[in-house]
Amino acid sequence: MEADAAWLPPEVFRPLGSRRVLVRGTGPLVDTVAAEVADACRRHGGAVLSGAPDDADLVLEADGGSGEGYTLARRDGTTTVTAEGDRGLLHGLFHVVRLGEDAFRGDRAPEEHRPALALRMLDHWDNVAVHPVMGQVERGYAGGSLFWADGRARDGLDRVRAYARLIAACGVNAVAVNNVNVHATEARLLTDRIGEVARLADTLRPYGIRTHLSVTFAAPVVLGGLETADPLDARVRAWWAEATARVYAAIPDFGGYVVKADSEGQPGPFAYGRTHADGANALAGALAPHGGTVHWRAFVYDHRQDWRDRSTDRARAAHDHFVPLDGAFAPNAVLQVKHGPMDFQVREPVSPLIGAMPRTRLAIEVQATQEYTGQQRHVCWLGPMWSEVLRFRPDGERAAGRLADALVAVSNAGDDPFWTGHPLAQANLYTFGRLAWDPGAEPGAVLDEWIALTHPGAPARLAEGLHAVLDSSWHTYEKYTAPLGVGFMVQPGHHYGPGVDGYEYSPWGTYHFADRDGVGVDRGAARGTGFAAQYAEPWATVYESPDTCPDELLLFFHHVPYGHVLRSGKTVIQHIYDTHFEGVAEAEEARRVWAGLAGLVAPARHARVADLFEEQVRCAREWRDQVNSYFLRKSGVPDERGRTVY
């Protein structure tokens, strides 16, 4: 089956490709723009001009800079995109494509567009060698890797080029091509296999995508034959400098390294009595002469916790480890922080680390791959979740301002013909790119863009149906899974489907502490772990008391009786029953709506989604029945509406 065109089918280029277009400027990305315009005009009957702009319907012009910004205007029948450099021209081209015919109507006063965040990156958790447990792509739900097959870089990279085009069109400008858990085979990409990475970089480069590489902190030992990886050892620093120089000799525009250290068994600076700033700065020092950046993940916690220990709190770990290091990181070191304090749950608070390190460059990391949100077998559009995170203000103020220097997502793409396994999960990939460009964008407007680009010329009924299916899908998933922010009621290991006590007595620190009297984790300062006090005011006070804590986060911050009354007027136990029944009903309704869109969607796409809706409804019912049964037995309180709880 031929790969799906996602949000760039040829038809979306018709408004541009049916007109007279002039492209002016120099640079490799100007060449990409010119090729896109030529192809569109060939398909749709327009003309590529080489003369004066007076004859053009559209002028795309770049100056000699390297910026990503551009100005869009229309006057006297000519639309113009004037870019700060060839990167800006590429983004301006795709803006015109998004506008469609509207780009060529009336007059348009000059509009300046530039990204709010300079780095907008996708991290691929792809393995070169198939891992015996995690497979080709760790937490991947869209087939195999786009980049790697049979233990090496793929021979044909046309699909990689098409992927670069797709993600550039929504604003992404960087990709890390391998898993943050760097195994033995993948470690060698840094040295004797760097040529394979260079081939990928050559393929991504024409669309302005810089290549990054995940590396192991222990590389000087694993690859260099040293007996130590101590970041303060001069030999270790020299090894990193030499290895990095060889990387840049192969890939002159290499973006930098991604590192997971002292986390879930990965080696790190703690083994040598050093701090994470020491570790990050050793790699940053090697990268600095070449203009590279190290992304140092803050996902550091005790994963060998005693479940009986109520004082150790995984949620506290990142703040405890890293806030004392604020100001100690090199200028080209970026601390990459998961958006929540735990692990990409369907509902958790924004990490208190965000906003707590004003002298450190931060990247916010989100998860487009749906590890805990249905694994691309369930519809779960995450735009509203990400928007809530990006609009959060640590000081409680509404004033504009950015939370971080970069936005990173764990990619949800693979070699599946539909790119993301579930065709509707493409909306998450597109939405990430657009929110990374403009964190203040309205998710609903971004979804409108995705619908119009993916289904050009479709009747209004299709757009209405897609909104009906996608708009509330995050809340629907939340309703039939873990309630009120409690999290982690999943099957261990693969994390798909309900397992209410799956991690309850494990060393991973992911507990709900349900007993006969109540449920939830006490994270207040007065009687709990003190996690709530890691937030600045007013949030520390808001989260401290169950009377002021938002209902959707109540069980994240507090252990409360089943009879605790929420702001809705319902008790916690009745909320659990009601939402789980509601979530199943909403999934069934979404399935019905999708069935009614047959004939408006390509048959293969419609069939794939229809099949997946059957699995979603089945799994939602399983969640409902297991969660409701569990809490009926724990609490002894029946459903006040008398519905069947097994």
Q: 3 falls in which pLDDT band (50, 70, 90)?
A: confident
Per the document, the length of the chain is: 646
pLDDT surpasses 60 at 238: yes
Is residue 83 over pLDDT 80? yes
Please determine, for residue 623, whether its predicted confidence score (pLDDT) is greater than 80: yes
Q: Does the pLDDT value for residue 213 go beyond 80?
A: yes
Burial zone of 48 (CB within 10 Å; 0-12 exposed, 13-18 middle, 19+ buried): middle
519-571 pLDDT, tens per residue? 999 999 999 999 999 999 999 999 999 999 999 999 999 999 999 999 999 99
pLDDT of residue 346: 98
Question: What is the location of CATH 3.90.1330.10 in the chain?
Answer: 478-520+559-635
Decide if pLDDT at 52 tops 90. Answer: no
Eight-class DSSP state of 154 = -
Average pLDDT over residues 378-404: 88
pLDDT in tens, 446-457: 999 999 999 999
pTM for the full predicted model? 0.97
**pLDDT tens figures, 147-192:** 999 999 999 999 999 999 999 999 999 999 999 999 999 999 999 9
Greater confidence (1 vs 282) lies with: 282
CA nearest neighbour of 167 among 182, 146, 152: 146
Element (H, E) at 187: helix 184-187
Judged against a pLDDT cut of 70, whether residue 401 lies above it is answered with no
Average pLDDT of span 565-581? 97
What percentage of residues in the chain have a pLDDT greater than 70? 99
Nearest to 378 by CA among 288, 267, 269, 475: 475
For residue 373, give every residue at least 6 positions away whose Cβ sits within 8 Å of its Cβ, in sequence order, or none. 344, 346, 380, 382, 474, 477
CA distances to 187, 223, 233, 236 from 227, rounded to whole Å, are 17, 11, 11, 10
d(CA 377, CA 553): 26
Q: Residue 540 in contact with residue 352, Cβ under 8 Å?
A: no
CB distance 421 to 378 below 8 Å: no
Sorting pLDDT into bands at 50, 70 and 90, what band is 109? very high
Does the pLDDT of residue 2 top 70, yes or no? no
Contact 136, 142 (CB under 8 A): no
Q: Which residues belong to CATH 3.30.379.10 in the chain?
A: 10-113
CATH topology of domain 119-124+145-440: TIM Barrel (3.20.20)
Instruction: For residue range 190-206, list pLDDT tens digits in order.
Output: 999 999 999 999 999 99
CA–CA gap between residue 578 and residue 585 (Å, rounded): 11
Give the Cα separation of 270 and 278 in Å (integer).
Answer: 10
Confidence at residue 53, expressed as pLDDT on a 0 to 100 scale: 82
Element holding 158 (H helix, E strand): helix 158-170
Percentage of residues in the chain with pLDDT exceeding 90?
Answer: 96
State mean pLDDT over 616-631.
98
DSSP assigned state of 419: S
**Does the pLDDT value for residue 379 go beyond 70?**
yes
Residues with catalytic roles: 264, 343, 371
Q: Is the pLDDT of residue 398 over 70?
A: no
Task: Examine the pLDDT at 399 and tell me if it is beyond 60.
Answer: no
What tokens does 269 get? 């600076």
The CATH class that applies to domain 478-520+559-635 reads: alpha beta
Q: Does the CA dihedral 369-435-473-299 come out positive or negative?
A: positive
CATH fourth-level superfamily of 10-113: Chitobiase/beta-hexosaminidase domain 2-like (3.30.379.10)
Closest-CA residue to 366 (of 433, 420, 456, 449): 433
Q: What is the mean pLDDT of the chain?
A: 97
SS3 345: coil
Average pLDDT over residues 574-584: 98
Rounded to the nearest angstrom, the gap between the alpha carbon of residue 611 and the centroid of all alpha carbons in its chain is 25
What is the DSSP-derived secondary structure letter of residue 349? P
The DSSP-derived string for 540-594 is HHHHHSTTTS-GGGHHHH--EETTPBPTTS-BHHHHHHHHHHHHHHHHHHHHHHH
Our CA angle for 288, 292, 294, nearest 5°, is: 95
How far is 641 from 375, CA to CA, in rounded Å?
A: 32
Contacts of 41 (CB under 8 A, 6+ apart): 17, 18, 21, 47, 48
Which helix (H) or strand (E) segment is 434 a member of?
helix 426-437
Residue 1 has pLDDT above 60, yes or no: no
What pairs with residue 498 in β-bridges?
490
Range list of H helices, 188-332: 194-204, 219-222, 234-250, 276-287, 317-322
Q: For 475-530, what is each residue's pLDDT tens digit?
A: 999 999 999 999 999 999 999 999 999 999 999 999 999 999 999 999 999 999 99
Tell me the mean pLDDT in the region 214-224.
98
CA angle 452, 457, 459 (to 5 degrees): 90
DSSP character at residue 4:
P
Strand-pair category, 333-338 with 148-149? unpaired
Rounded to whole angstroms, the Cα distance separating 34 from 16 reads 12
Residue intervals of the chain classified under CATH 3.20.20.80 are: 119-124+145-440
